[in-house]
């Protein structure tokens, strides 16, 4: 039913979108293009601080905040470059046509100039934080640049690249605070990011229907059935990997407790809730928005975080 409704609708006209965007100042349009609403994805950099047991160390906490800010800047640069490259396709999308670059409210030259300045400043800050962190940040920019140029058009490699971007964020957060990041947690980051990327592809494919490949060419290589098979594999792998991590002897020895096992119901519920939103509520097209607007999912993530902190640092230890 949803598929037929979307396919019968005509693409949104860019004229109202252009007028709306041009009613804002160029600075506001630039800020919107940096996608601050998507910066929640960079919260993964704090995993190293929390699981490295440095949360109460003010110096390392400051380093983690700096790493978060740097990745926000770098991810904003990636969004700007993508908006410039995809502006023609975005004009055919019912909501992306309202983006400042696609609507013409933010000139391409201004967008690319701002991207260059922000990238230079963010990378300079990254190397100031430490050579190792600077190299991770540089690798993140390089990987996402290659993604924007070629990898986004290669089936399976497109979602794997997105997931690797999250792994680099997590690794960067650990490097910034000088802690060793568990291989289990890196694997979990990869799997969870892959779950979200595949779910997003499915949501786009279903919502855009026959016009999906016109908006994102790679969608022609996928089908809902194929994506459901991949999501099923990744869902099971994510939950098993997290469960094994909580009871791994190295984890128990490092934290001096086996009570992280108590937190398993939270990712179990969170993933099932997300699948419910994707399949029953036509959600999942914007993972950051879904996390911030769905109260049960937000409560689940918050409770998981509180339990983890309570077990590692507080009364539940």
- Over residues 59-98, the pLDDT tens digits come to 999 999 999 999 999 999 999 998 998 888 778 777 788 8
Per-residue pLDDT band at 212 (split at 50, 70, 90) = low
Model's pTM, two decimal places? Answer: 0.86
- Over residues 11-55, the pLDDT tens digits come to 444 455 555 666 788 899 999 999 998 899 999 999 999 999 999
In the 3-class helix/strand/coil scheme, how is 21-67 assigned residue by residue? HHCCCHHHHHHHHCCHHHHHHHHHHHHHHHHCCCCCCHHHHHHHHHH
Radius of gyration of the chain (CA): 20
| Closest by Cα among 163, 157, 152, 220 to 191 | 163
Average pLDDT over the chain, rounded to an integer:
88
Neighbours of 128 (CB within 10 A): 12
Does the structure show a pLDDT above 70 at 280? Answer: yes
Does the structure show a pLDDT above 90 at 243? Answer: yes
Over range 95-107, report the average pLDDT: 87
Coil, strand or helix at 304:
helix
Per-residue pLDDT band at 1 (split at 50, 70, 90) = very low
Give me the half-sphere count of Cα atoms (radius 13 Å) on the Cβ side of residue 269: 14
pLDDT of residue 9: 39
Does the structure show a pLDDT above 50 at 103? Answer: yes
Does the structure show a pLDDT above 90 at 116? Answer: yes
Does the structure show a pLDDT above 50 at 114? Answer: yes
Question: Residue 239's Cα: distance from chain center in Å?
Answer: 19
pLDDT of residue 14: 47
Question: Using CB atoms within 10 A of its CB, is residue 180 exposed (0-12), middle (13-18) or buried (19+)?
Answer: exposed
Q: Where are the domains of the chain?
A: 14-181, 182-317
Which residues lie closer than 8 Å to 221 by C-beta, 6 or more apart? 155
In the 3-class helix/strand/coil scheme, how is 81-146 assigned residue by residue? HHHHHCHHHHCCCCCHHHCHHHHCCCCHHHHHHHHHHHHHHHHHHHHHHCHHHHHHHHHHHHHHHH
Q: Any idea which fold 14-181 has?
A: Tetracycline Repressor; domain 2 (1.10.357)
Instruction: Tell me how far apart the alpha carbons of residues 128 and 151 are, in angstroms, rounded to a whole number.
Output: 30
- Over residues 293-302, the pLDDT tens digits come to 999 999 999 9
């Amino acid at each position: 039913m949803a598929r037929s409704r979307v396919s019968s609708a005509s693409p949104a006209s860019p004229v109202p979108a252009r007028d709306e965007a041009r009613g804002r100042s160029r600075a506001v349009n630039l800020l919107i293009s940096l996608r601050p609403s998507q910066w929640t994805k960079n919260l993964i950099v704090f995993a190293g601080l929390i699981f490295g047991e440095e949360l109460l160390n003010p110096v390392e906490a400051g380093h983690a905040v700096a790493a978060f800010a740097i990745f926000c800047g770098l991810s904003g640069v990636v969004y700007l470059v993508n908006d410039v490259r995809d502006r023609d396709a975005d004009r055919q999308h019912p909501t992306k046509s309202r983006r400042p670059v696609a609507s013409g409210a933010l000139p391409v030259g201004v967008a690319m100039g701002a991207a260059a300045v922000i990238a230079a400043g963010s990378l300079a800050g990254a190397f100031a934080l430490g050579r190792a962190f600077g190299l991770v940040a540089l690798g993140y920019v390089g990987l996402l640049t290659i993604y924007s140029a070629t990898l986004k058009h290669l089936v399976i490699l497109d979602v794997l690249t997105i997931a690797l971007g999250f792994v680099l964020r997590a690794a960067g957060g650990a490097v910034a605070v000088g802690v060793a990041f568990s291989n289990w947690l890196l694997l979990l980051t990869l799997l969870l990011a892959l779950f979200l990327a595949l779910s997003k592809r499915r949501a786009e494919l279903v919502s855009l229907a026959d016009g999906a490949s016109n908006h994102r060419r790679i969608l022609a290589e996928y089908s809902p059935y194929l994506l459901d098979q991949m999501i099923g594999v990744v869902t099971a792998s994510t939950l098993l990997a997290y469960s094994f991590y909580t009871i791994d002897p190295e984890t128990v020895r490092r934290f001096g407790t086996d009570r992280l096992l108590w937190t398993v119901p939270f990712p179990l519920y969170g993933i099932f809730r997300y699948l419910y939103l994707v399949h029953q509520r036509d959600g999942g097209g914007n993972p950051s928005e879904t996390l911030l607007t769905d109260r049960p999912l937000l409560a689940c993530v918050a409770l998981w975080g509180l339990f983890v902190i309570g077990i590692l640092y507080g009364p539940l230890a």
